[in-house]
Structure 1
Amino acid sequence: MGAVLVASQGKVLFSRGYGAANLEWDVANTPLTKFRIGSVTKQFTAAAVLLLEQDGKLRLKDRVSAHWPQAPAAWKDITVFHLLTHTSGIPNYTAFPEFASLQVFDTPVEKIVEGMRNRPLDFTPGSKYDYSNSGYVLLGWLIERISGQRYGDFVRDRIFEPLGMQDSGYDSNTAIIERRAAGYERRRDQPLANAGFVHMSTPHAAGALYSTAEDLLRWAQGLFGGTLLSAESLKKMTTPYKGGYALGLEVKQVDGHEVIEHDGAIDGFDSFLSYYPAQKVVVIVLSNVAGGRRMGDITRELAALAVGRGEQP
């Protein structure tokens, strides 16, 4: 259940919805269905930080304490770059014992940050890569402090609107959002069940956005086409550091091709966005069933058709 889109050289080769956006009402998924995209959000957060750098309001080498003087002493060497590349050493807040109860409440980002500050670092900043949602929530908070806007508003004004992404936004538990899919999960006692509740304040800049397959194509074309960021900023965003991770994106070799990509998972939803720069191929796979067939497998198979053999799926 979900939506799939494949494009090459700016041309859509394949775009289709599968299964139900809402099982109770038997509403079908389409390429215009809105899905929560989980950690695919992180590339938007990284781009937002780079836009602030272009504005002269921060530098990637800035220490966090330069923008938050109350940062704990243990964070004195942590930079914005460390947060972007998962090399800060700040422990992952979604692994905290209290997170299960925290995620069901409207939780201000300041409270999430406060929950991180008194925990010891997992390692010396910059010494290793360890994927952590904490760094991206902290980045979202810094974006708000520096820009004077809420994270979702900044992303809307500086990214979504310039790129014509009218079907994307910061998700809400109360707002009426047209064509938004319901999320489901697989359980032992039944094939599909409604996904557990998560208040969208808790994933914040690490995973709170929603989008459509068509809007994510606009994003990929705008980002990699150079219409959103300067050439220098785009190079920073796509240059891997430790563990093959760049800024909100992974850079790797797949079947002899360079791929820039990221996946996402949040209660009831999985997502995957891949870009093959040499061939200018974009593969987007979105699902409103968590824990189903691996999204990466579907993405690879579609990419093999569009890239590996030069055929349309």
Structure 2
Amino acid sequence: MDGHMRGPNWLLTTTLLCCALTAGSEARTLDEQRLAALLEETRAEMKMPGLRAAVRLPDGRIVRAATGLADKEAGTPLDNDIAMPGGSTGKTFVAALTMLLVEDGTLSLDDPASKWLGDRPWYARLPNPADIRLRHLLSHSAGISDYPGTFRYNLHSVWRAIRRGGIRFTPEELIGFALNKKPLNAPGEGYRYTDVGYLVLGRLIESATGRTYYDLLTERILEPHGLQDIVLQDRSVLPVAPGYMMGARNLRDDGTMKIDPSSEWTGGGLALTPTDLVRFHAALAAGEIVRPESLEQMLEGGWHNPATPGEHYGFSLFVHDHGDAWSHGGLWPGYRTHVTHNTRAATTIAAQTNRDGRVDMGAVVTRIASALD
């Protein structure tokens, strides 16, 4: 949910970040004490319960620090190891898994989505059903609208909270909020960020393989790359730090989330740490997750806006500086996350907080990048 800032502020923040990371990149370093001090200053200024970050340096070392509280009511300090929902940062894992399926011939980027989903009763009610290709779902260029913030979604959420005591949707129910609507653009000819498109992609992956998304992700990416501590959001009770939705605690006394995290699925669907994120993105950059040519497609794919040369959304990567850097943000109610990688600086930075609202995590990462010697 909420992959990134989507207006002019996004471009300004990412431009500043790229400049901060590449300046003097041959000697980039940072120690835990300095990182912790910077995080504490930032946390207090931005009024966060807790804030933490991890930085992977050019020599491969990971520097990490955490400050503030994981649980305000219990007074529990935030640490580096407890998971938090990463929101849309999980979409990059979906894209990487998709590219692995392209590499082994299971899928093609030019596959019509109808090849795998045409028999689903809801598929023909999507916009552009005959023209959507796999690459369009990966790059948010299929012309599909989103569900967060729509009147129907908000109304249904309130009803479910009252009727069931919690909010939970199946992927098909969330896809339903985008059905019978006019296309936002012709496939491949525009960009509109949409969680619904990634839920459609998740169903396509499962149809093509006959496997569940989480089983494939665990087998193909998490276990082979030592990321098995990442928590799959496949249930309502997760081993995560409490989050604060507009200041209110998002966990009930029995540990269930007020908004069921299993609803997010391939729109994100992973609870993790900044350390997990920098390890994954550094491995992605090194050609260890997907082949270098697949990474190139992830960076080059998508609609390129002539108004922002060198800046576009690829396959679940916000691409900056003509591909020399990328980033992704994430929101789940009660949490915000941001990760960025700079190839020229050989540096990866991720940060998380356990509050939502108007918190610019891209700016937090930029501060960290600026502090590198």
Q: TM-score range by the shorter chain?
A: 0.7 to 0.9
Q: How much has 1:117 moved relative to structure 2?
A: 3.2
Give the aligned residue type for 2:133. Answer: T
Q: Which has the higher strand share?
A: 1
Structure 2 stretches lacking a partner, 5+ long:
1-49, 161-165, 251-256, 306-311
Segment drifting more, 263-272 vs 147-156: 147-156
Query: In the aligned structure 1, how far is the partner of 2:301 from the partner of 2:319?
Result: 6
Corresponding residue of 1:294: 360
| Shift in alpha-carbon separation, 1:123–1:292, aligned structure 2, 3 A | closer
Q: How much has 1:166 moved relative to structure 2?
A: 2.4
Secondary structure class of the residue paired with 2:137: helix
Give the aligned residue type for 1:79. Answer: R
Q: How much has 1:229 moved relative to structure 2?
A: 0.6
Segment drifting more, 22-31 vs 279-288: 22-31
Corresponding residue of 1:78: 132
Corresponding residue of 2:29: none
Give the aligned residue type for 1:251. Answer: V
Query: In the aligned structure 2, how far is the partner of 1:176 from the partner of 1:132?
Result: 25
Q: How much has 1:81 moved relative to structure 2?
A: 0.7
Give the aligned residue type for 1:206. Answer: G
Query: What does residue range 1-313 of structure 1 map to in structure 2 within 5 Å?
Result: 1-12=50-61, 14-70=63-119, 71-72=123-124, 74-100=128-154, 101-102=156-157, 104-177=166-239, 180-186=240-246, 192-195=247-250, 197-239=258-300, 241-242=302-303, 243=305, 244-253=312-321, 258-291=324-357, 293-306=359-372, 311=373
Segment drifting more, 52-61 vs 146-155: 146-155
Q: How much has 1:66 moved relative to structure 2?
A: 0.9
Q: Which runs of 4+ in 1 moved over 4 A?
A: none
Corresponding residue of 1:189: none
Calculate percent identity across the aligned residue pairs: 26
Secondary structure class of the residue paired with 2:196: helix
Query: In the aligned structure 2, how far is the partner of 1:63 from the partner of 1:172?
Result: 28
Segment drifting more, 267-276 vs 1-10: 1-10
TM (norm. structure 1) is 0.88
Give the aligned residue type for 2:105. Answer: G
Give the aligned residue type for 1:90. Answer: I
Tell me, yes or no, if the aligned pair for 1:110 and 1:141 is still in contact at 8 Å. Answer: no
Secondary structure class of the residue paired with 1:129: coil
Tell me, yes or no, if the aligned pair for 2:282 and 2:341 is still in contact at 8 Å. Answer: no
Segment drifting more, 109-118 vs 155-164: 109-118
Q: How much has 1:142 moved relative to structure 2?
A: 1.2
| Shift in alpha-carbon separation, 1:62–1:95, aligned structure 2, 3 A | farther
Q: How much has 1:291 moved relative to structure 2?
A: 2.1
Tell me, yes or no, if the aligned pair for 2:218 and 2:228 is still in contact at 8 Å. Answer: no
Secondary structure class of the residue paired with 2:336: strand
Give the root-mean-square deviation of aligned CA atoms.
2.1
| Shift in alpha-carbon separation, 1:230–1:75, aligned structure 2, 3 A | same
Secondary structure class of the residue paired with 2:61: strand
Tell me, yes or no, if the aligned pair for 1:6 and 1:283 is still in contact at 8 Å. Answer: yes
Q: Which has the higher helix share?
A: 2
Secondary structure class of the residue paired with 2:91: helix
| Shift in alpha-carbon separation, 1:79–1:240, aligned structure 2, 3 A | closer
Query: In the aligned structure 2, how far is the partner of 1:175 from the partner of 1:304?
Result: 38
Query: In the aligned structure 1, how far is the partner of 2:167 from the partner of 2:248?
Result: 21
TM (norm. structure 2) is 0.74
Query: In the aligned structure 2, how far is the partner of 1:301 from the partner of 1:105?
Result: 36
Segment drifting more, 112-121 vs 32-41: 112-121
| Shift in alpha-carbon separation, 1:42–1:126, aligned structure 2, 3 A | same
| Shift in alpha-carbon separation, 1:174–1:112, aligned structure 2, 3 A | closer
